[in-house]
Structures are given as structure tokens and as C-alpha cells.
Structure 1
Amino acid sequence: MQALEQLSIDFANAVWGTPLVMLLLLGGLFFALYSGFLPYRHFGHALGLALGRHNTPDQPGELSHGQALAAALSGTMGLGNISGVALAVVAGGPGAVFWMWVSALVGIATKFFTCSLGVMYRGEDSLGRLQGGPMYIIREALPRSLYPLAVLFSLAGLIGTLPMYQANQLTALIRENLFSTQEPLLVNGAIGLVLALVVGTVVFGGLQRVAKVAVTVLPLMVLLYMAMTFYLLASHLDEIPALLANIVNSAFSAEAAGGGLLGVMLIGISRAAFSNEAGVGTEVMAHGAARTNEPIREGLVAMLGPVADTLIVCTCTALVILIAGNWQNPGELSGITLTSNAFAQEMGNVGVALLFLVTLILSSTTMFTMWYYGAKCFGFLFGAEVQHHYRWFFVATVIFGSLVSLDIVFNLISAAYGLMAIPTMTATLWLAPRVKEAAKDYFTRHPY
């Protein structure tokens, strides 16, 4: 098992090297500058679209703008915000949070471009149904010689969208709070089996059921989590300015945790990509299902994701962890258990119970959405007519994820995310002029 853990670490480190991080960071900066910061100037219109204005139920697609955003956020708004932030702070120190902010800021422009393309270049699967996603963008809009990029995205997507990380962390939280004195392997297997049954109940209902569940419970759980963090931060209000200053100073310190300036930058940006998925391409599959003929509208809705996901929720989690102070000597605590310990230290059993509820719901909705992403990748590679078989494999990996170590599942999923980003960013940079032209046309017709 130790050899497998080291192999997963080496794999993730090889993928998330300087070239990939620069591709995401500089690519997002290019999109912002190239568009004249257009996405940032239309947040009001984007919010209106997400809230249901300008819905077009008669146009092609499966989801409304709001449902597409909820489905995408249910894939990002979860353990990456709670557990992933803890992993980032332990690995890179407070400075990692700063680079998560930077990644989110440029990720706004990245999501605008990628998700606009997701609607602009939808393609038919083998059953003739309209689909969106980076693999369809590549197939429909790029030269045939670049088709292997679509295959790379789909193969990496089959791994990156597996629910092992969510199952692992949810199992750890349940075991720690309810079965801490029992045999870990036996308890983990039992918890994994129950989780698999719950996930299977939803994913066998299809995308509409996933979106319905996400729209219903996601806002409530996010509001509850924000209320918890605001309550805790309010009781330490005088410490927050110093913590924010420490985050910024640590980001540029040559002695920063995680291997100096470059090391902490790599950690922060890779964790942000895992959290908000800007440039990775999974979110393009959800937004590509939007019911609209206006690609720019969906791009505007999609850009709200990094703001809510990383700039707000991840920042609150990071401040809670930094206030508690246990990130410097985590001991046996890792990921979700570190965050849980921070809430327990500050809010007692009430904080642990509320975090348990939030984590249970958010990790479940993430797993529901990840099934949809993985199924689309499977259908692209092997045919939509056999896509339904993927559900059984997906549900089985919930049990597997509950049994293996955090290092194995996190690094495996993280590396797959990195591989998915390569074709997504390549295609988006190639096609950026078409998004810019479409945006100019859209705002000429709709001068908001």
C-alpha cells in the first residue's frame, strides 16, 4: 500500500508541474486581457440569467441556466472547499490560499470562454442526442489531427470524475464521529456500501434527477456552511486582518511552506483547479447541457462558479483552519478531519454535527454530478448505447474509495484533473477568437 501511495504522489507531482500550472494561470490571464475583461463587467446580467431571467424552455438542451449552474456547482461545491483547502494549507501554508485566489480570479475568464464554447460546439453522440463538453468542442471545431486530445480528455475524465475522493473523506468523517472504536476496515466497507446504495438511487434516475436534487439542497447547505463560518469568524474578527496579511506575505516568501515561492504557487493553483475546475473541463459538460441557443449567456452564468466556490467558500474554510491553528501540527488529522477538528475546537459538538450534515449533503451531490460527467466521457469513447453500464462501475468505486488511503485517491483524481486541463485549455486558446466574436455580437443585440 505504501508503494502505491508513493506512486500516486509521484504521478500527481509529474502532472502538476510548472508547465501545467502556467498553462492555467497564464491562459486565464490571456482570456481576461483578450476579452477586455468583458466577463467581469457583466456580473449583474450573469446573476439575472442564473436566477431565471431570459430562460428559453423551447430551445435545445436539458437544463435551465440555473439548473446547469447548480449541477456544475454541485460538482465543485463540496469537499474541495472543505477538505481540499485543508490539504492545501497543510502542504503549502497560508500562502497557498493566495494562489487559490489568483487562480479563481483568472478562472472567471477561463470559465466564460470554456463554457461559451461548450454550447457553441455541441455535438451529437452515437444515439443522435445533443451533448456538450471539451471532447465535443475538439471533435466539432478543431482539425481532425487534434482528435486525440478529445480521447485524452475522455480517458482522463473516466478517472477524474470517479467518486473515490468524496467517498473516502465522507467515510472518514462518519467513522471518526460515529464508529471511532470499531475495526476501521470493516466499518469503512459498511459505510461505503451504504453510500453506494444512496448514490445508485440518484444516478440511476438520470441527469434530471441529479439537477433536481442539486437545485433543492445545494443552496441550503452552502448557506448553512457560510453561517457556521461567519459565526466563527465574527468571534475572531480582530485576528482576520493579520491572517489575511499572513496569507499574502506567505505567498511571496522564499521560505514558504511547500518548497518556496514556486512550490506554494503550484500547490495553491492545483488545489484551486481541483476546487473550482476552471480550465479542467468537467464544468463544460454541465453547462453544455443548458437549454439555450446563446452560448455567451451560458458562459456568463458559468463564470459565477469560481466566485462562489473559491473566493467565498474556500476563503472562509481557510480562515477557520488558520484561526484554529492545528494546521501547523496536524498529526493524524488530514483533509476533512483537520477541518472538523478546527470546528470542534471553536464550536464544540454543535460545529462537528453541522459540518457532518453539510459534508454529507455536499459530498453526495458532488458524487451525483460526477456520475454524469463520467458517463458522458464513457459514452463518447465507447458509444452512448452502452453508456448506462457505466453506472454500475461508478457506484462500485464508491466502495473502493471508502477502503483505500486519502493519498491514493486524492493524488489519482488530482492527476487526472491535470490531464483533462491540457486538451481543454488547448482547445479554448485555439478557439478564443470565436468566443470574442460571439460576445461582441451578443452584446450588440442585447446591450445590458
Structure 2
Amino acid sequence: MEQLKQLAANFSSAVWGLPLLILLIGGGLYLLIRSRFGTFRLIGHAVHVLRGKYDDPNDPGQISHFQALTTALSSTIGMGNIAGVAVAISIGGPGAVFWMWVSAVVGMSTKFFTSTLAIMFRGKDSNGELQGGPMYFIMEGLGKSWKPLAIMFSVCGLVGALPVFNVNQLTQAINDILLAPNGVEVGFTSNLIVGLVLVSITAIVILGGIGRISKTAAKLVPSMVLLYFVSVTIILVVNIEVVPKYFAMIFTDAFAANNFKGDAFFGGIVGGLILLGIKRGAFSNEAGIGTAPLAHGAAKTDEPVREGLVAMLGPAIDTLIVCTLTALAILVTGVWETTADNGVSLTANAFGNAMPGFGKYLLLVCIAVFSISSLFSFSYYGSKCLSFLIGADKMHYYNYFYIASIVLGATMTLDMMINLIDGVFALMAIPTMLSTIILAPKVVKELAAYKERLKENKV
């Protein structure tokens, strides 16, 4: 068993290593250059699309632009924004945040291309329903000879979408912040109760399909981002005198790497810091993994570029806003220098330091909403993968398997399973990025045509 655990840990570490980052960041840079940064000049237009200015209920699809974005965001805004940022700062210091920003800018371009393709090359499932996502744009855009790549994405998606890591971390946070400090005995029974509560909440939402998932996400995501924003604003106000100092350090330390404690890369500590920041950013916003196109592919639109522009806002909200809030909270309170804590405990210390008595509980509310909303969208991703593999009439079976894994994640220490899921999740990027890079010229052509129609007021 120990050997299997080590094997799974090595697998996860290898998959999330340099080759994947080259594919995600290098591929993203290629897409950014290929589009000549043109998508960034349309951010204002993207906001208008998101607000519903161009919504047409008669367009093909199942959910609105806003619901598609919030469904995608509900999966990416989670423990990576709270625990992942803390890990990056504890190892890399303030400079790691700058390289997370770089990852987000590149990720915005990747999300534009993958989600535009999700609408451009929608396919039909076995029930004749219009569907979008990497497996469909591989089949429709590249042809049936590329089916093994689509199958690889779907098989990896079945395992990668399981919520074991998220549930495990949420249960740990509830134990550490709420139960143990208040004298409640923490163990299998308390974990089982947490698991069953999560099962009840999740089952009510996910058994209602994408319609109910998207409506719930549309209500939860804006509220949770606002709550987190207000919480961190309080922390910044309490420590206002040091905010300029640490904000400046994000830029200066990015190239000096004075606080970097990790391994050197390409013979230098700055290289190691760049690798750390980009890896944490990619892990946070999931650009290029292929999950977001599964949600955006269900949007009601006949204009692929519009959905790509809406999807592009995802990494900006996820990494440039939410991750930056976490980073500033940790930096200005000084806990990154005064404690040996890591992950979610470090962020909890920052909240407790600035808001004694209730800060940690406020963070727990944010963690709970972030994590629970992730459970909804990942179940949809997994069931969509199963639908592609064995038929839409059998996709509901995935939900029962998914719900059972929630109890498993809450009650057991699953180092091996978590590493396996983590690694398989990352493997989804290979078919997604390869097909996106090959199909990129078609997206560029569609973008040019859309901009022309926009200029002539024909869209």
C-alpha cells in the first residue's frame, strides 16, 4: 500500500511538472500571439455580453452566458484560491503572486480559444441534444480519426472530476476551525456527518441537471466573491499602512526572489519562483484543462466568439481578483513570516489575526461556499464525459458514483486517491491543448469575421 501511495504521489508530481506547464503556458502564449492580443481589446464588449445585452432565448443551447460563466467559475474558485495561494507564498514569498498573474493573462487567451471552439464545433449526444466540450470539438473539428484523443479526455474526466480532494479539504477546515477549537471530538463519526450533509446538499442540486446547477451557481458565485472581497477589504483597512509596501514587493520580489525557499530551476532561484507561480496559477484557473468548455459549450448562442470572450473573464476573476485578495490578506497580516503554517491554515491565521474572534469563522463560510459550489459543476463535467463514452441515457449513473465518493472523501485519508485524481485531472490538458493549437487558425478567422460584423453592427 505504501508503494502504491508513493507511485500515485510520483505520478501526480510528474504530470503537474514542466512538460504540462510548457504545454499550458507555452501553448497559451502561442494562442495569445496568434490572436495578436485582439481579444483583450474586446473586454468591454465581453462585459456587455455577460450582462445579457445579446441574449436570445431562441439561440441553440441550454443556459445563458452568465450562467455558463458562473458554472465554470464555481469549479475553479475553490481551495486553489485559498490554500493554493498560501502554499505559493509560503514557498516563494510575495514574488510568486506576480507569476500567478502572468499565468492568468495567458490563461485568459487559452480560455477564449477553448470555449470558442466549444460553440464552433458542438456535436450531438446519443439523445440528439446539442453538446459542447473538448471531446466534441475534437470529433467535429478534427474528424473521427482523432476519436482516441476525445476518449482520453472523457476517461480522464470521469476520474478527474471526482470531488475527493475538495471534500477532504473542506472537512479538514471544518474540523480545524469549527469543531476541534469548540471541544467537539473529531473523528470518523463527525467526518461522516459532514459527508452526509454535503451529500444531501449536492444531491438536491446535481440530480436536477445542468439547468438547476447553472441557476444555483448563478446565485452562489457572485455572492461568494462579494463576501470574500468584503472580508479581505476589512483586513486591508486594518493593515492599511503596510498595503503599499507589500503590493510593491509583489513586483520587486518577482525578479529578486529574496524570499524563495524552493528548488532552483534552470540553474537559478528566479527560475524556480517563476515555475512555482505559474504552476499555482494554472492549478487555480484550470485554463487549458478543458473543464470550462464543458460549461460554456452549453451556452445559448450562435456566436462562438461571444462565448469565448465571456469565458476569457474567468481567469481574470479567479486569479487576478480572488487569488490576489488571498495573497494580500496573507502578506499584510505578516503571518507568512511569523508562522510555520501552510495551506488553508495560513489563510485562516491571516483572517484570525486581522479579525480576532470571528475572522476564522468568516473564512470558513467562504471556504464552505467555494467548495460546495465546486461540487455542483464537477458532477456535471463527469456526467457529460460518461454521456460521451456510453450514451446520454446512462449519464445519470455517474451522479450516484459521484455522491458515494463525497462520503469517501469526508471520512478517509485518501492520499493515494487524491494524487491519482490530481494527476488524471492534469492529463485532460493534453487532448484539450493539442486540439486547440491545431484548430487555432479557425478561431482566429472566426474572431476576425466577428470583429468585422461588430464594426458594421451586424451582431
TM-score using structure 2 length: 0.92
Partner secondary structure for residue 446 of structure 1 = helix
Letter in 1 for 2:319: T
Summarize the Cα distance change of 1:400–1:174 in structure 2 as closer, same or farther, 3 Å threshold: same
* Equivalences for residues 128-207 of structure 1 within 5 A: 128-180=128-180, 181=183, 182-207=185-210
* Equivalences for residues 284-363 of structure 1 within 5 A: 284-328=293-337, 331=340, 333-363=341-371
Residue aligning to 1:238 = 241
Displacement after TM superposition at 1:328 (Å): 5.0
Number of aligned residue pairs: give it.
Answer: 447
Worse-superposed segment, 289-298 or 72-81? 72-81
Partner secondary structure for residue 357 of structure 2 = helix
- Whether the aligned pair in 1 keeps the contact of 2:125 and 2:392 (CA below 8 Å) is yes
Partner secondary structure for residue 63 of structure 1 = coil
Summarize the Cα distance change of 1:430–1:26 in structure 2 as closer, same or farther, 3 Å threshold: same
CA offsets per residue over residues 269-293 of structure 1, 9 Å max, x none? 2222222111111000000000011
- Whether the aligned pair in 2 keeps the contact of 1:16 and 1:266 (CA below 8 Å) is no
- Whether the aligned pair in 2 keeps the contact of 1:93 and 1:258 (CA below 8 Å) is no
Please, what is the CA RMSD of the aligned residues? 2.1
Displacement after TM superposition at 1:295 (Å): 0.2
**Does residue 1:221 correspond to 2:229, yes or no?**
no
Worse-superposed segment, 256-265 or 109-118? 256-265
Displacement after TM superposition at 1:249 (Å): 4.1
Summarize the Cα distance change of 1:158–1:363 in structure 2 as closer, same or farther, 3 Å threshold: same
Residue aligning to 1:257 = 261
Letter in 1 for 2:88: A
- Whether the aligned pair in 2 keeps the contact of 1:210 and 1:368 (CA below 8 Å) is yes
Residue aligning to 2:267 = none
- Whether the aligned pair in 2 keeps the contact of 1:401 and 1:409 (CA below 8 Å) is no
- Residues in 2 aligned to 1:267 and 1:120: alpha-carbon distance in whole angstroms: 34
Residue aligning to 2:292 = 283
- Residues in 2 aligned to 1:24 and 1:207: alpha-carbon distance in whole angstroms: 28
Residue aligning to 2:32 = 32
Worse-superposed segment, 43-52 or 262-271? 262-271
CA offsets per residue over residues 267-318 of structure 1, 9 Å max, x none? 3222222221111110000000000110000001000011111001101101
- Residues in 1 aligned to 2:143 and 2:164: alpha-carbon distance in whole angstroms: 35
Summarize the Cα distance change of 1:43–1:159 in structure 2 as closer, same or farther, 3 Å threshold: same
- Whether the aligned pair in 2 keeps the contact of 1:169 and 1:406 (CA below 8 Å) is no
- Residues in 2 aligned to 1:251 and 1:414: alpha-carbon distance in whole angstroms: 27
- Whether the aligned pair in 2 keeps the contact of 1:152 and 1:420 (CA below 8 Å) is yes
CA offsets per residue over residues 195-253 of structure 1, 9 Å max, x none? 11211111111111111111112211211110111121122233233323433344345
CA offsets per residue over residues 249-273 of structure 1, 9 Å max, x none? 4434577322123433333222222
Q: Unaligned stretches of 5+ in structure 2?
A: 265-269
**Does residue 1:390 correspond to 2:394, yes or no?**
no
Residue aligning to 2:453 = 445
Partner secondary structure for residue 303 of structure 1 = helix
Identity %: 48
- Residues in 2 aligned to 1:194 and 1:4: alpha-carbon distance in whole angstroms: 31
Residue aligning to 2:73 = 73
Worse-superposed segment, 91-100 or 342-351? 91-100
Residue aligning to 1:120 = 120
Letter in 1 for 2:304: P
Partner secondary structure for residue 54 of structure 2 = coil
CA offsets per residue over residues 418-448 of structure 1, 9 Å max, x none? 2111111111110111001111111111127
- Whether the aligned pair in 2 keeps the contact of 1:111 and 1:278 (CA below 8 Å) is yes
Q: Unaligned stretches of 5+ in structure 1?
A: none
Residue aligning to 1:20 = 20
TM-score using structure 1 length: 0.94
**Does residue 1:376 correspond to 2:379, yes or no?**
no
Letter in 2 for 1:87: V
